[in-house]
C-alpha cells in the first residue's frame, strides 16, 4: 500500500511542487493544509504516515501545529520544511520532536531520501 | 559510497604520488629546465587532486589543485626557478601533513595560508586533535562528518544526535545539544554512546544519511605512541601483482590435487605413491612459502626515495655541497624490515653529512644481495674517524680500560662508537648529535636480526655496513643445546662456531678467554647466564662466536645441533616480556624452539647487578 503524506505549506506553489515529487515517488497525498490550524484538524481526520510542515505560516506556525499534533499523536512523523537562515527554528522543532527537515530550495531526491528514512526508522 | 572503504586505498596511493613528487622536485632543482620532470610533477599533482576531490577531502584537493596550476605555469615558462621549488616543496610538505590528518581521522588542517601564497617557513605543527581529551572513556565513540555541501549543518547534526540516542544513551557529545541550539557550527559530531549495538549496526543504520561524508569509530588508546603505532601498522596495505595472485591460485590448485593423491595413497596403503605425494607436497609448500614472501617484499627504493630531499635540506642548512647517490635501490627486502630501517638510514645519512663531510663531498648508499642476506652500505668521503680519538673517549667514558684500549685493534675500537653514551661530536649540531646516536641505529638493526659494522680511514671517509636478513618472519637459525634446552640463535648474529679443547682456555684477570685468530676472546657460559647448574666436564667445548655490545665474545654451550629455517612468532603476553627471548618457533616434530637474544639477556643482568 502506498504511503500517505500530508503537505502543509501556505504557498500553493510549494504544495504542488511537493505533491508532484511525492506522487512521482509513489506516495499518496491524502491532504494539503495551508496553515497550522488546518494541519491539526486534517491530521486528526487522515492520520497520514508522514507530514511535511512549513515553519512560517499564518494562523498557527508550523512549530505550534507540530507540537499540537504530537501531543495528540506522539507517534506522528513530522518533517520540517525550512528556508536557509531558519536554522534555529528548525533546531527548536527537532528538539520538540520533528523527525527531520528539508531545506528549500530542494531537489526531488533529497526530499524522498529524507522522508523514506524517516518512515523506515 | 562507503568512504571508509576507500580511505586506506586513497592514503596509500596519494602517499606514493607525493613521494614521487618529492623525488622529482629534487631532480628538477638540479636541472630547472627538465621538462620531463616538470611534466611528471604536474601529473602527480593532478592525480592527487582527482583522488582527493572524489573522496571529499577538500583541503587536500585545493592544495594539489594549486600545485597543479603553478606547475602548469612552469610548463609554459619551460623552467622552475628556485623560489618556485621552495614553494612546491612547501606544498608537498603540506599535502603530507594533510594525509596524516586524514589517516589519523582528524579534520584536515587549514590550507588558506598556502593557497593565499603565504610561505610557511616553519614545519607545520599538527593541529591538536579536536577530540583528544575525549578519546579515553567508556562506551563507543562515533564520529560523524558532514559533507561540505550540507546546507544547514547545525540542524543536521541535531537530527543525527537525536538519532544516535536511539542506539542507547548518549554519554557525551561534541558539540552538545545545547551548543548546537546556541548556534555552534561544526561539521563533525563526536558522540560517546553507551550502546548494545555493534559498530556495523550503527554504520548500517546511518548509511541512509547521504549528508554524511564519513562514519568513524575512533579508537581510544591511552598511550598515544601505541595508538600511532597501531594505526600505522593497520593502515599499511599491500598491492599485489596479479601475476603473483595467479601463481597463488595455481599453487592452491596443485595442493588440492596433491591432497587427493595423498588421500588415495593412504587409502590404498600404497607407500611408493605416498612418498611421491609427500615429496610433491614438500616442493609445493616450499614454492608457496617463497611466493608468500614475495608479497611482503618491497624495494629499498621505497625508503631511499625520500633521502634526496633530506640531503638537499641538510645541505641548505649546513652550507655544504654533497653529491648523493643510491645504488641498488631495487634490491627487495621484507616490508617490516624496511619500515624499521627508514629512520636509522636517515640518521646515518645525517651523520655522514654533519660529521663526515667537511665542505664538499659525496655520500653514497649501496645495496646488494649476498645469498639470503642484504647488504646496505652508507659511505662518505669525508674526514673519517680517528681511532685514537675514539680510544681516548672510550676510556674517558669508562667503556674500556686503558689496558684494553692498548690491545684492541683499530677496527674493534671503531665499533665502540655504537655504545650507548658515546659521542665524538664535540659540539651539538642542529641535525645530529642530539642524544640519538649510533647506538640507536645499531639497536634497531640488531632488533631486525642484522649486524652493523663501521669501517673508517682518517682523511678518506667512513663506511657503515648493514647486514640484514631478507625477511624477519622466516629466518635461518643456529640450533644449540644448553642444559637440556633446545635454543635458537639467528644465524645473522653468529660470526663463527668453533669447538675447542678445554686446554686452550686461558685466564685474563678474572675473565676466561681463548685466543682465536690471534685475538683474545672473552668466554661467557650460557649455562651460567641462564642460571643452570654446571654441565659435566667434557673434552670438547662448543663455542658460538657472536657480538655483544659491540664486542666479540665466545658463548660456551653444551652442543651445536644444526641449522634450520624457522617461522618465528612473537611469544604471547606475558611471555613476551621475558628479556633475552626474541620469539619462538614450532619445529617439525612439534617441539618449541626459543630464540635467544644474548645482548638483552646480558642487559638484564647488568641492570640487576648495578
pLDDT digits (tens, 9 = 90+) for B453-465: 899 988 889 999 9
User: For B507-519, what is the mean pLDDT?
Assistant: 85
**Sign of the CA dihedral with B242 first, then B248, B249, and B250 last:** positive
Closest CB to B208 among A87, A91, A117: A117
Q: Which residues, at least 6 apart from B417, have a Cβ–Cβ distance to it below 8 Å? A: B385, B390, B424, B437, B438, B454
- B138 near A CB under 8 A: no
CATH homologous superfamily for the domain A4-120: Response regulator (3.40.50.2300)
- A100 near B CB under 8 A: yes
Complex confidence, ipTM: 0.86
Q: Which of A22-26, A102-106, B78-82, B208-212 has the highest mean pLDDT?
A: A22-26
The yes-or-no verdict on residue B220 having pLDDT over 70 is no
The yes-or-no verdict on residue B328 having pLDDT over 70 is yes
Q: Distance between CA B607 and CA B602 in Å, rounded?
A: 9
User: For B558-570, what is the mean pLDDT?
Assistant: 85
Q: Distance between CA B5 and CA B312 in Å, rounded?
A: 37
Question: B250-267: b or e for each residue (b if 16 or more CB lie within 10 Å)?
Answer: ebeebeeebeebbeebee
Q: What integer pLDDT is reported at residue B148 of this predicted model?
A: 78
Q: Which of A29, A43, A114 is nearest to A74 (CA)?
A: A43
Q: Torsion-angle region of residue B435: left (phi > 0), alpha (psi -120 to 50) or beta?
A: left
* Domain limits, chain A: 4-120
Q: What integer pLDDT is reported at residue B119 of this predicted model?
A: 43
H or E stretch covering A97: none
pLDDT category of residue B531 using cuts at 50, 70 and 90: confident
Q: Give all strands of the β-sheet with B541-548 in edge-to-edge order.
A: B494-500, B541-548, B551-557, B519-525, B511-516, B506-508
The yes-or-no verdict on residue B230 having pLDDT over 50 is no
Residue B76 vs residue A31, higher pLDDT: A31
pLDDT category of residue B323 using cuts at 50, 70 and 90: very high
Q: What integer pLDDT is reported at residue B141 of this predicted model?
A: 83
The arrangement of secondary structure in B132-225, i.e. its CATH architecture, is 2-Layer Sandwich (3.30)
The arrangement of secondary structure in B3-115, i.e. its CATH architecture, is Up-down Bundle (1.20)
Q: What integer pLDDT is reported at residue B5 of this predicted model?
A: 60
Q: What integer pLDDT is reported at residue B225 of this predicted model?
A: 37
Torsion of the alpha carbons at A110, A113, A117 and A118, rounded to the nearest 10: 40
Q: Distance between CA B167 and CA B198 in Å, rounded?
A: 10
| B563 backbone dihedrals φ, ψ, rounded to 5° | -115, 150
Q: What is the pLDDT of residues A38-84, one digit of tens each?
A: 999 999 999 999 999 998 888 888 999 999 999 999 999 999 998 77
Q: What integer pLDDT is reported at residue B441 of this predicted model?
A: 84
* Cell 686452550 found at: B504
User: For B286-302, what is the mean pLDDT?
Assistant: 83
- B180 near A CB under 8 A: yes
User: Which string of DSSP letters, residue by residue, matches B359-388?
Assistant: SEEEEEEEEEEETTEEEEEEEE-SS---HH
Percent of residues, chain B, with pLDDT higher than 90: 12
Q: What integer pLDDT is reported at residue B423 of this predicted model?
A: 64
User: For B154-170, what is the mean pLDDT?
Assistant: 87
Q: What integer pLDDT is reported at residue B234 of this predicted model?
A: 39
Residue B355 vs residue B367, higher pLDDT: B367
Q: What integer pLDDT is reported at residue A53 of this predicted model?
A: 94
Q: Distance between CA B212 and CA B239 in Å, rounded?
A: 29
User: Cβ–Cβ of A117/B209 closer than 8 Å?
Assistant: yes
Lowest-confidence pick of B58-62, B127-131, B590-594, B601-605 = B127-131
The yes-or-no verdict on residue B400 having pLDDT over 80 is yes
Closest CB to B152 among A90, A92, A120: A90
User: Cβ–Cβ of B181/A95 closer than 8 Å?
Assistant: yes
**Sign of the CA dihedral with B49 first, then B55, B56, and B59 last:** negative
- B356 near A CB under 8 A: no
Q: What is the pLDDT of residues B474-506, one digit of tens each?
A: 778 999 999 888 999 988 888 899 998 888 888
- Give chain B positions within 8 Å (CB) of A91: 154-155, 158, 180-181
Lowest-confidence pick of B47-51, B70-74, B281-285, B324-328 = B47-51
Q: What integer pLDDT is reported at residue B236 of this predicted model?
A: 59
Arithmetic mean of pLDDT over chain B: 81
pLDDT category of residue B227 using cuts at 50, 70 and 90: very low
Interface test with B, best of A79, A82, A87 (most B CBs within 10 A): A87
pLDDT category of residue B137 using cuts at 50, 70 and 90: low
pLDDT category of residue B122 using cuts at 50, 70 and 90: very low
Q: Torsion-angle region of residue B133: left (phi > 0), alpha (psi -120 to 50) or beta?
A: alpha
Q: What integer pLDDT is reported at residue B226 of this predicted model?
A: 36
User: For B387-392, what is the mean pLDDT?
Assistant: 88
The yes-or-no verdict on residue B166 having pLDDT over 80 is yes
Take residue B518 and report the three cell numbers written for it.
690471534
Q: What integer pLDDT is reported at residue B105 of this predicted model?
A: 81
Q: Which of B547, B295, B581, B590 is nearest to B445 (CA)?
A: B547
Say if CB B113 and CB B59 are below 8 A apart.
no
Q: Distance between CA A68 and CA B473 in Å, rounded?
A: 69
Say if CB B124 and CB B101 are below 8 A apart.
no
Beta carbons within 10 angstroms of residue B173's beta carbon? 22
User: Cβ–Cβ of B162/A84 closer than 8 Å?
Assistant: no
Q: What integer pLDDT is reported at residue A11 of this predicted model?
A: 85
Q: Is the pTM of this model over 0.80?
A: no
Say if CB A76 and CB A104 are below 8 A apart.
no
- Give Cα B387 distance to the centre of its chain: 32
Q: Which residues, at least 6 apart from B217, have a Cβ–Cβ distance to it below 8 Å? A: B140, B141, B142, B143, B199
Closest CB to A94 among B155, B209, B210: B155
Q: Estimate the crossing angle of helix B3-30 against helix B82-103, to 10 degrees.
A: 160
Q: Which of B21-30, B91-100, B309-318, B405-414 has the highest mean pLDDT?
A: B91-100
Question: Does domain B301-469 correspond to CATH entry 3.40.980.10?
Answer: no
Q: Where does B474-609 sit in CATH, by number?
A: 2.40.50.180
Take residue A75 and report the three cell numbers written for it.
507517534
* Domain limits, chain B: 3-115, 132-225, 242-295, 301-469, 474-609
Percent of residues, chain B, with pLDDT higher than 70: 88
Q: What integer pLDDT is reported at residue B219 of this predicted model?
A: 61
Say if CB B85 and CB B29 are below 8 A apart.
yes
Q: Distance between CA B28 and CA B21 in Å, rounded?
A: 10
Q: What integer pLDDT is reported at residue B127 of this predicted model?
A: 37
Ranges assigned E (strand) in A12-118? 28-33, 50-54, 78-83, 100-104
- Give chain A positions within 8 Å (CB) of B208: 113, 116-117, 120
- Give chain B positions within 8 Å (CB) of A102: none
Closest CB to B155 among A90, A117, A121: A90
pLDDT category of residue B174 using cuts at 50, 70 and 90: confident
pLDDT category of residue B569 using cuts at 50, 70 and 90: confident
Percent of residues, chain A, with pLDDT higher than 90: 61
Residue of A nearest to B183 (CA): A88
Amino acid at each position: 500500500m502506498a504511503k500517505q503524506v500530508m503537505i502543509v505549506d501556505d504557498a500553493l506553489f510549494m504544495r504542488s511542487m511537493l505533491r508532484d515529487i511525492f506522487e512521482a515517488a509513489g506516495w499518496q497525498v491524502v491532504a494539503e493544509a495551508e496553515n497550522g490550524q488546518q494541519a491539526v484538524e486534517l491530521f486528526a481526520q487522515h492520520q497520514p504516515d508522514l507530514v511535511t510542515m512549513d515553519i512560517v505560516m499564518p494562523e498557527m506556525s508550523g512549530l505550534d501545529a507540530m507540537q499540537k499534533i504530537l501531543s495528540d499523536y506522539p507517534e506522528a512523523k513530522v518533517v520540517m520544511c525550512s528556508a536557509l537562515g531558519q536554522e534555529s527554528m528548525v533546531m527548536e522543532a527537532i528538539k520538540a520532536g520533528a523527525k527531520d527537515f528539508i531545506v528549500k530550495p530542494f531537489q526531488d531526491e533529497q526530499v524522498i531520501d529524507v522522508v523514506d528514512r524517516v518512515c523506515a526508522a | 559510497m562507503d568512504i571508509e572503504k576507500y580511505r586506506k586505498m586513497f592514503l596509500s596511493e596519494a602517499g606514493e604520488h607525493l613521494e614521487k613528487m618529492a623525488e622529482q622536485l629534487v631532480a628538477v632543482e638540479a636541472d630547472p629546465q627538465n621538462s620531463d620532470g616538470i611534466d611528471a610533477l604536474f601529473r602527480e599533482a593532478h592525480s592527487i587532486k582527482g583522488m582527493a576531490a572524489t573522496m571529499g577531502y577538500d583541503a587536500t584537493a585545493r592544495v594539489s589543485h594549486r600545485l597543479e596550476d603553478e606547475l602548469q605555469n612552469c610548463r609554459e615558462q619551460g623552467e622552475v626557478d628556485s623560489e618556485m621549488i621552495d614553494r612546491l616543496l612547501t606544498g608537498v610538505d603540506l599535502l603530507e601533513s594533510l594525509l596524516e590528518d586524514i589517516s589519523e581521522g582528524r579534520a584536515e588542517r587549514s590550507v588558506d595560508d598556502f593557497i593565499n601564497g603565504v610561505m610557511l617557513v616553519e614545519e607545520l605543527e599538527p593541529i591538536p586533535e579536536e577530540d583528544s581529551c575525549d578519546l579515553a572513556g567508556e562506551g563507543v565513540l562515533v564520529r560523524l562528518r558532514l559533507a561540505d555541501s550540507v546546507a544547514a549543518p547545525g540542524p543536521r547534526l541535531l537530527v543525527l544526535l537525536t538519532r544516535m540516542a536511539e542506539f542507547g544513551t548518549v554519554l557525551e557529545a561534541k558539540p552538545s545539544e545545547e551548543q548546537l541550539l546556541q548556534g555552534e557550527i561544526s561539521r563533525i559530531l563526536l558522540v560517546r554512546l553507551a550502546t548494545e549495538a555493534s559498530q556495523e549496526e550503527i554504520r548500517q543504520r546511518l548509511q541512509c544519511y547521504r549528508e554524511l561524508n564519513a562514519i568513524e569509530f575512533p579508537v581510544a588508546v591511552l598511550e598515544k605512541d601505541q595508538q600511532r603505532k597501531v594505526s600505522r601498522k593497520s593502515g599499511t596495505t599491500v598491492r599485489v601483482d596479479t601475476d603473483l595472485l595467479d601463481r597463488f591460485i595455481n599453487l592452491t590448485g596443485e595442493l588440492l590435487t596433491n591432497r587427493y593423491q595423498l588421500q588415495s595413497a593412504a587409502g590404498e596403503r600404497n607407500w611408493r605413491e605416498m612418498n611421491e605425494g609427500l615429496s610433491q607436497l614438500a616442493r609445493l609448500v616450499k614454492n608457496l612459502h617463497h611466493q608468500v614472501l614475495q608479497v611482503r617484499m618491497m624495494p629499498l627504493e621505497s625508503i631511499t626515495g625520500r633521502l634526496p630531499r633530506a640531503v638537499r635540506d641538510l645541505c641548505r642548512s649546513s652550507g655544504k655541497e654533497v653529491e648523493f647517490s643510491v645504488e641498488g635501490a631495487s634490491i627487495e627486502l621484507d616490508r617490516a624490515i624496511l619500515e624499521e630501517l627508514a629512520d636509522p638510514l636517515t640518521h646515518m645519512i645525517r651523520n655522514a653529512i654533519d660529521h663526515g663531510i667537511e665542505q664538499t663531498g659525496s655520500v653514497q648508499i649501496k645495496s646488494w644481495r649476498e645469498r639470503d642476506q642484504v647488504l646496505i652500505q652508507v659511505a662518505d668521503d669525508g674526514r673519517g674517524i680517528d681511532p685514537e680519538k675514539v680510544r681516548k673517549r672510550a676510556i674517558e667514558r669508562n667503556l674500556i680500560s686503558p689496558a684494553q684500549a692498548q690491545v684492541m685493534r683499530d677496527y674493534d675500537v671503531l665499533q665502540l662508537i655504537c655504545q650507548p653514551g658515546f659521542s665524538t661530536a664535540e659540539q651539538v649540531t642542529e641535525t645530529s648529535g642530539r642524544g640519538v646516536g649510533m647506538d640507536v641505529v645499531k639497536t634497531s638493526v640488531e632488533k631486525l636480526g642484522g649486524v652493523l659494522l663501521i669501517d673508517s680511514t682518517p682523511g678518506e671517509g667512513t663506511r657503515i655496513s648493514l647486514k640484514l636478513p631478507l625477511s624477519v618472519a622466516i629466518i635461518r637459525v643456529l640450533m644449540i643445546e644448553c642444559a637440556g634446552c633446545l635454543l635458537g640463535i639467528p644465524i645473522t648474529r653468529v660470526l663463527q662456531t668453533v669447538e675447542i679443547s678445554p686446554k686452550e682456555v686461558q685466564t685474563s684477570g678474572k675473565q676466561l678467554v681463548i685466543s682465536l685468530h690471534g685475538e683474545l676472546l672473552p668466554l661467557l657460559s650460557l649455562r651460567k647466564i641462564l642460571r643452570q647448574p654446571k654441565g659435566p666436564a667434557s673434552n670438547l667445548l662448543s663455542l658460538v662466536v657472536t657480538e655483544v655490545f659491540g664486542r666479540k665474545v665466545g658463548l660456551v654451550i653444551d652442543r651445536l645441533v644444526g641449522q634450520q629455517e624457522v617461522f618465528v612468532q612473537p611469544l604471547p603476553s606475558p611471555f613476551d616480556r621475558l628479556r633475552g627471548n626474541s620469539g619462538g618457533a614450532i619445529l617439525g616434530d612439534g617441539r618449541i624452539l626459543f630464540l635467544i637474544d644474548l645482548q638483552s639477556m646480558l642487559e638484564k643482568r647488568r641492570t640487576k647487578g648495578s
